Amino acid sequence: MRPAVLAAALALASLPVVASPAQSGARREPVPRTPDGKPDLTGVWQGGSTVRGTWEEANRGTGLGGSGKDPNAPSILSSNDRPGDRQPAPYQDWAAKKVLESFNRRGIDDPTSRCLPAGVPRSVMLGLFPQKIVQTPKEIVVLYEYMNAYRVIPLNAEHPDDLLPSYMGDSVGHWEGDTLVVDVIGFNDRTWLAGTGTFHSEALHVTERYTRVDKDRIDYEVTMEDPNVFTRPWTLRSSLMLREGTRLQEYICAENNSDPAEYERLLKEGVKIRRD
Amino acid sequence: MRAKSWQACAAAAVLSLGSSRLSAHHSFGAEYDGSAPVTVTGVVTRIEWTNPHAFIYLDVSDKDGKVASWKFEGYPPGVLQRLGWKRDRTMKIGDRITIFGWRARDGSNWAHSREITLPSGEKMMFGPPAGTGDGGSTPAVEVR
């Protein structure tokens, strides 16, 4: 056996074995690829999770929502959790005060409490709802159950020069090796990024990197730049887990949304909501 | 209408850890007091299988037979379905169930549901942890 072939054989033999609660002992399966050789990201995914298996396997027991730091809480991130190492976001002093004020008001000014789209990257990193990626050679479409939002990501294209500010921004993508890099601009200033009060301006520029590392997992890295509110770029890392068999449901948030009226009533009646 | 006059009681201390350590959906933590756990047993009179959140209404009798209506908020229907809930099958009007959750900050008979004990004795999650959506234990920024 030639050395190169031997090395390849040894490398194959030493592929890591998955140790997951859902699929104990199962071997990591390779990344599916499209006919043109690119990683195929098509599928239904759950953000904010590292757990392998079907939706039912990964989320049974304690349900969803939470940072995982409370022993009674589920480990799957919901729609307002900050992933990663919990380092402070690099807001300028005046902007940090504004973020803190939202935190002290317990998030009652969350745009999603008025059923507005969750924006980017919040829509990608939340775990309460699935998202579906549909990949074609020329564009990638992502459908988010949360707020029935979607993104169309043309590949190897330029941003239009007449963008109107929007909740989900304008996305263009390209492949860097096996990583899909998505550039997003054209945002309005009405979404939160990752965590209570994490506002931004219309100057927000988001760069996302999607790397499917095996069949079950996409590593997700996002860098947010906004010179109007940040002192430096803010980078977070998370992952998307494949949820085979999961269907997207309709989510019409305005159907029976009582939250803003309730917040207003409680405040009017003098009920203490604010943190001490 | 004090809680103790109904078949309601504070939950075990282990379940009342951390009033607002977590954050998730619309702010349950703003409307409901994560330090006020409540367990209520009653008869289901209505289920609103609606977005953004589902609601359950319970008729709850006190020891004198006086009945009060309680309202419980939970996950959205799609989330419930993926957690194993079957609409009109898992829980039906007329079922006697027990709900553990956290009471509204205004002290009314309104609560954020967490765990439901069905007539069969099976327990299922109907809502997220205490304090969900209120920002969690630490803000996203450094407090200076």
- Please give the domain boundaries of chain B with CATH numbers for all domains: 3-125 (2.40.50.140)
Q: Which residues of B touch A58 (CB under 8 A)?
A: none
pLDDT at A267 over 60: yes
Least trusted range by pLDDT, from A216-225, B3-12, B19-28: B3-12
Would residue A27 count as lying in a domain?
no
**Distance (Å, rounded) from C-alpha A70 to C-alpha A259?**
25
Is B43 in the A-facing interface, judged by CB distances under 8 Å?
Answer: no
Number of Cβ within 10 Å of residue B64's Cβ equals 6
**Distance (Å, rounded) from C-alpha A246 to C-alpha A241?**
12
Chain B closest-CA separation from residue A226 CA (Å): 15
Would residue A207 count as lying in a domain?
yes
pLDDT at A57 over 80: yes
Q: Which residues of B touch A69 (CB under 8 A)?
A: 21-22, 137
Predicted confidence band of residue A26 (pLDDT cuts 50, 70, 90): low
Would residue A276 count as lying in a domain?
no
**Distance (Å, rounded) from C-alpha B100 to C-alpha B34?**
12
b/e string for B105-128 if b means 16 or more Cβ within 10 A? bbeebbbbbbbbbeeeeeeebbbb
- From B11, B6, B88, select the one nearest B41 (Cα to Cα): B6
Range of the domain at A119: 43-259
Predicted confidence band of residue A81 (pLDDT cuts 50, 70, 90): low
Q: Round the average pLDDT of chain A to a whole number and report it.
A: 86
Would residue A86 count as lying in a domain?
yes
- From B36, B54, B56, select the one nearest B46 (Cα to Cα): B56
ipTM (interface predicted TM):
0.83
Q: Which of residues 123-182 of A touch B (CB under 8 A)?
A: 128-130, 145
Q: Which residues of B touch A67 (CB under 8 A)?
A: 21-23, 136-137
Would residue A264 count as lying in a domain?
no
Predicted confidence band of residue A73 (pLDDT cuts 50, 70, 90): low
Would residue A2 count as lying in a domain?
no
CB-based contact B54:B80 (threshold 8 Å): yes
Mean pLDDT within B94-99 = 98
**pLDDT for A54:** 93
Predicted confidence band of residue B52 (pLDDT cuts 50, 70, 90): very high
Q: Round the average pLDDT of chain B to a whole number and report it.
A: 82
Quote the distance between the C-alpha of residue B86 and its chain's center.
18
Mean pLDDT within A212-235 = 97
Nearest CA in chain A to B33: A273
**pLDDT for A13:** 41
**Distance (Å, rounded) from C-alpha A123 to C-alpha B40?**
35
**Neighbouring residues of A210: CB distance < 8 A, sequence distance ≥ 6:** A41, A179, A180, A181, A182, A218, A219, A220, A240
The residue ranking higher by pLDDT, A241 or B6, is A241
CB-based contact A82:A194 (threshold 8 Å): yes
Chain A closest-CA separation from residue B65 CA (Å): 30
CB-based contact A102:A109 (threshold 8 Å): yes
**pLDDT for A78:** 57
Would residue A268 count as lying in a domain?
no
pTM of the entire structure? 0.85
Q: What separation in angstroms does the CA of A151 have from each of A18, A97, B54?
A: 32, 32, 27
Least trusted range by pLDDT, from A23-27, A131-135, B79-83: A23-27
Q: Which of residues 62-91 of B touch A (CB under 8 A)?
A: 75-79, 81-84
**Distance (Å, rounded) from C-alpha A12 to C-alpha A60?**
33
Q: Which of residues 62-101 of A touch B (CB under 8 A)?
A: 62-67, 69-74, 77-82, 86, 88-89, 91, 93, 96, 99-100
Rg (CA), chain B: 15
Would residue A229 count as lying in a domain?
yes
Predicted confidence band of residue A95 (pLDDT cuts 50, 70, 90): very high
**Overall domain count for chain A:** 1
Positive/negative CA dihedral, A69, A72, A76, A82: negative
Q: Which residues of B touch A255 (CB under 8 A)?
A: 50-52
**Distance (Å, rounded) from C-alpha B7 to C-alpha B3?**
8
Alpha helices in B46-121, H assignment, sequence order: 77-82
Q: Within 13 Å, how many C-alpha atoms sit on residue A156's CB side?
A: 5
Q: Which residues of A touch B29 (CB under 8 A)?
A: 106-107
